[in-house]
Amino acid sequence: MTFRELGLSEKVLQAVEASGYTHPTPIQAKAIPEALAGRDVLGIAQTGTGKTAAFTLPMLSRLEQGRARARMPRTLILEPTRELAAQVEESFARYGRNHKLNVALLIGGVSFGDQEAKITRGADVLIATPGRLLDFSERGKLLLTGIEILVIDEADRMLDMGFIPDIERICKLVPFTRQTLFFSATMPQEIVRLTEAFLHNPVRVEVAPAASSPAAIAQALVATEPGPAKRETLRSQIRAADNFKNAIIFCNRKRDVAILHKSLVRHGFRAGALHGDMDQRARMASLEAFKNGEVDLIVCSDVAARGLDIPDVSHVFNFDVPVHSEDYVHRIGRTGRAGKLGTAITLVTRADRKHVAEIEKLIGRPIAWQRSASFEELGIADEEVAYAPRHERRGRRPGEHHKQQAGGRERKAAKPNRHKPEHRAPERRSAAAPSRGRHESAGDRPVVGMGEHTPGFLLRPVKLKPQVVEEAE
Ligand code: AMP
């Protein structure tokens, strides 16, 4: 199947060719002809499947006839977040390079004035988050009665964020006769109800999430100790990664996003961060730096990263095993996109094994351990002794497995490696060197609290319960 067979206009085909796409993705092949024919489409697909172009390309073809009128946009795209809205705007710029269309963005956190000027001039395409759109409409600055095509994107995410009542209100403000293109990664009951109320005899187009394609993503588990040793494991993994271009690193808690980000920067990595406590400007700047290659690592929380399209990510590292197994599928789906190969590596402590088992159950297959080594073979202690002082530990010293990795790393280091940290000193420090304090170990050994000066009663092993606090934004 080629793009030409889908019935797109010549101008759109030229822009697609200039983007370097040779073949439509499954959602594009199925949805584009139906959308061009004017039918309502219910697309069940997640980010990474090419769904943005599945609605952008037919919209561009259809917009070639007709003109926008002041305050009356011709098409409306609803997105749950500002970042996603900005991404769709970029898609219009890319695929609409041969069209002279006015594209307006209505998102929170941006001044009203500029947005109003664009809408007053007449917008062919309005991309909006629901709150800001209703705000404009209620102030009488915008009329939705000229909408010919309505796109509702990431509907299940809208549900998560409490936007469904807003969506219902907006659907009642646009003409009954408009065409609706509706996309959701999953179909919970509330979303089914919404589609029954607002779509007219839609064609249902469903594609498997990118993550369910085992060929596209090489997945591996890496046994590690918790605490500072885990950060060392991550660093070794990044340095040893094959075909590395860039990586998203996921943490379960936003506090850990900040800690890990700082630690990576301190070790000379070019890393950014993305979490819910950052303001809009800082989030956009972080994302931009990652997209344009200024940094090649970005540390994220699940909520901050969901839905973002970051093309060409070669690696995903799960610094923490996700507690909800579906998050694993979403996380690794950030790589191996649109036919490219990707690698997803998950760091696993003993306490995480239960969650790993749940993930394997969900994806329907076991994930291979890197080097097929068990915790015992790697000398990784049970969690309750992992934090005990050195002289209380039995067997191999924690971190000795990192030494093996360090060997591998040195072999790798002979090759040019742009991820080689600028400051290697802490890595080379001898095991006998004094402690650097709480966060980073001397050599490989984690030093906790007062180290060897800890009073005896504090040294009694205690069973540590894994605490995973879900991020609330
Ligand atoms: P999306 O699911 O819309 O977020 O798209 C995921 C990524 O796939 C984006 O980076 C697109 O640029 C890319 N993409 C979309 N369509 C195609 C295609 N037909 N061939 C190759 N890459 C594509």
CATH code of 38's domain: 3.40.50.300
Confidence of residue 374 (pLDDT cuts 50, 70, 90): low
Q: Say which range, 21-25, 301-305, 415-419, has the weakest mean pLDDT.
A: 415-419
DSSP 272: E
Same-domain pairing of 189 and 244: no
Per residue in 94-150, pLDDT (tens digit) is 999 999 999 999 998 777 888 899 999 999 999 999 999 999 999 999 999 999 999
User: What distance in angstroms lies between residue 46's CA and the mean position of ligand 1's atoms?
Assistant: 11
Residue of 2, 17, 52 to mutate, ligand 1, most atoms within 8 A of C-beta: 52
**Is the domain of 132 the same as that of 81?**
yes
Q: Pocket of ligand 1, candidates 19, 83, 89: which has the most ligand atoms within 8 Å of its Cβ, to mutate?
A: 19
Are 168 and 257 in a shared domain?
A: no
Please tell me the total count of domains within the chain.
2
pLDDT at 442: 34
Listed residues 382, 404, 420: the one ending a domain: 382
Closest atom of ligand 1 to CA, residue 21: 20
Number of Cα atoms under 13 Å in the Cβ half of residue 162: 2
Instruction: Examine the domain organization and report whether 202 and 221 are in the same domain.
Output: no
Report, as an integer, the average pLDDT of 306-328: 83
CA nearest ligand 1 atom 11, residue:
50
Atom of ligand 1 nearest to the CA of 52: 3
Closest residue by CA, ligand 1 atom 15 = 50
Query: Do 105 and 233 sit in the same domain of this protein?
Result: no
Residue to substitute in 309, 312, 334 for testing ligand 1 pocket (most ligand atoms within 8 angstroms of CB): 309
Is residue 408 assigned to a domain? no
Q: Last residue of a domain, which of 367, 382, 397?
A: 382
Q: Are residues 157 and 231 in the same domain?
A: no
Q: Give the domain range for residue 361.
A: 217-382
Residue 414 maps to a domain: no
Question: Would you state the structure tokens that stand for residue 389, as one six-digit string?
Answer: 């002082």
175 and 303 in a single domain? The answer is: no
Answer yes or no: do 134 and 239 share one domain: no
| DSSP 8-class letter at 74 | S
Return the CA Rg of the chain.
25
Range in 55-59, 168-172, 226-230, 344-348 with the lowest mean pLDDT: 226-230
Mutation test of ligand 1: which of 306, 337, 341 has the most ligand atoms closer than 8 Å to its C-beta? 337
pLDDT number for residue 341: 78
Pair (115, 183) in one structural domain: yes
In a domain, 38, yes or no: yes
Average pLDDT, the chain: 79
Smallest CA separation from ligand 1 atom 5, residue: 50
Query: Which DSSP helix (H) or strand (E) runs through 417?
Result: none
DSSP string, 113-175: HHHHHHHHH--SEEEE-HHHHHHHHHTTS---TT-SEEEE-SHHHHHHTT-HHHHHHHHHHS-
45 CA: nearest ligand 1 atom: 2
Q: How far is the CA of 339 from the centre of ligand 1 (A)?
A: 9
- Secondary structure (DSSP) of 370-393: GGG--TTTTTPPPHHHHTS-GGG-
Q: Examine the domain organization and report whether 229 and 96 are in the same domain.
A: no
Q: Answer yes or no: do 95 and 243 share one domain.
A: no
Edge-first strand order for the sheet with 125-128 is 103-106, 125-128, 75-78, 149-152, 179-184, 41-44, 203-206
Question: How many angstroms separate the CA atoms of 272 and 162, rounded?
Answer: 29
In a domain, 151, yes or no: yes
Residue 466 lies inside a defined structural domain of this protein:
no
Q: Is the dihedral of CA 55, 60, 65, 67 positive or negative?
A: positive
pLDDT number for residue 447 = 43
| Residue in 336, 388, 135, 65 with CA at minimum distance from that of residue 219 | 336
Assessment of whether the complete model's pTM goes beyond 0.75:
no
Q: Residue 178 pLDDT > 90, yes or no?
A: yes
Distance 206 CA to ligand 1 centre (A): 16
- Tokens 């996109």 found at: 337
Q: Which residues lie with the beta carbon below 6 Å from any ligand 1 atom?
A: 21, 24-25, 28, 47-53, 309, 311, 337-338
Whether 150 maps to a domain, the answer reads yes
How far, in Å, is the centroid of ligand 1 from the Cα of 338? 6
Q: Let me know if residue 421 belongs to a domain.
A: no
Nearest ligand 1 atom to the CA of 47 is 2
**Residue 430 maps to a domain:** no
Look at residues 178, 206, 234 and tell me which one is the last residue of a structural domain: 206
Q: How far is CA 46 from CA 95, 119, 155, 210, 329, in A?
A: 20, 30, 10, 8, 11
Q: Which of 9-23, 185-199, 270-284, 418-432 has the lowest mean pLDDT?
A: 418-432
User: What's the 53 CA to ligand 1 centre distance in angstroms?
Assistant: 7
Do residue 256 and residue 196 come from a single domain?
Answer: no
Q: Do the beta carbons of residue 375 and residue 350 sit within 8 Å?
A: yes
CA distance 473 to 471: 6
Q: Measuring from atom 12 of ligand 1, which residue has the nearest CA?
A: 311
* For ligand 1, atom 22: residue with the closest CA: 338
Q: What is the reported pLDDT for 340?
A: 67
